[in-house]
Amino acid sequence: MNLKNVKVPKMPGGGGAASPLIKFGLVIGLGVYGIANSLYNVDGGNRAIVFNRIRGVKDKVYPEGTHFMIPWIDRPVIYDVRARPHLVESTSGSRDLQMVKIGLRVLTRPVPDQLPTIYRSLGENYNERVLPSIIHETLKSVVAQYNANQLISPRESKEIRKILTERAANFNIALDDVSITSLTFGKEFTAAIEAKQVAAQEAERAKFIVEKAEQDKRSAVIRAQGEAKSAQLIGQAIANNPAFITLRKIEAARDIAHTISNSANKAYLSADDLMLNLQDLNLNSTGRK
């Protein structure tokens, strides 16, 4: 069969009208894709730098907001410039050869203006590359200068902060706060400290006992002096007025009667024994003539 002479019928409406629509749709799609990939956002507390595939890292630091970039050629790198805590523990030897385990908490943040330099030299995980090494080195150098019992004072904390701040500044890292969270000594040194505290407490207790004995002695002397003075005054009162004894008997009889009246039991005792025979008392005072 000869196919060269076969005629193919044309479709109604033709394909020429659909071609511009397809081209227009492709242009719109490429435009939307280009716009979507040409914008990036920098959230609050962050900064951005841009890596260009042709020129490398740009020196400009982009603040918060929405920024433009060239798709595929530019790539933004976002840095968190807010202070973040880092906990590091280090075991060091003191000057008196005691092993001390120190827990340190530091608040660090990158210097925003130096983000391009930080990215070139350290990358994005700059904290993990720099902080552990400089903290361990600083703690070992500071702890080795003091005895174990001197590490509790705040002077060492200030010195550690000073040295760490200077070392971190060499890597464009700012330290907002440095604090010692834990301080653990060896078993032998801990036992020695506990024994020293117990001895100090025992000394304070012995001192208290001595002071208490002295106070008891003084109170006994004062009480004896008071009783002697009281006896002297009573003797003078009896000598001046014999009715003083009668008055004391009346007061004693009143107290005994009050006690017996309030008692639930019934008692039958001699009036002479209870000092209640008031009729026989001689109330006439015979003073000195």
Ranges of H-type helices in 122-242: 126-143, 154-169, 187-240
User: Which regions in the chain score pLDDT beneath 70?
Assistant: 1-18, 152-156, 190, 192-193, 242-244, 266-289
Any domain includes 181: yes
Question: 107 and 168: one domain?
Answer: yes
Any domain includes 3: no
CA distance 176 to 190: 32
Q: What is the pLDDT of residue 213?
A: 84
Identify whether the C-beta of residue 68 lies closer than 8 Å to the C-beta of residue 35.
no
Q: What is the pLDDT of residue 289?
A: 39
Question: 66 and 36: one domain?
Answer: yes
Question: 92 and 177: one domain?
Answer: yes
Any domain includes 21: no
Identify whether the C-beta of residue 127 lies closer than 8 Å to the C-beta of residue 79.
no
Any domain includes 26: no
Collapse the DSSP code of 152 into the 3-class scheme (helix H, G, I; strand E, B; otherwise coil) and give the result: coil
Any domain includes 174: yes
Question: 146 and 92: one domain?
Answer: yes
Tally of domains in the chain: 4
Question: 128 and 37: one domain?
Answer: no
Q: What is the pLDDT of residue 90?
A: 85
Question: 149 and 71: one domain?
Answer: no
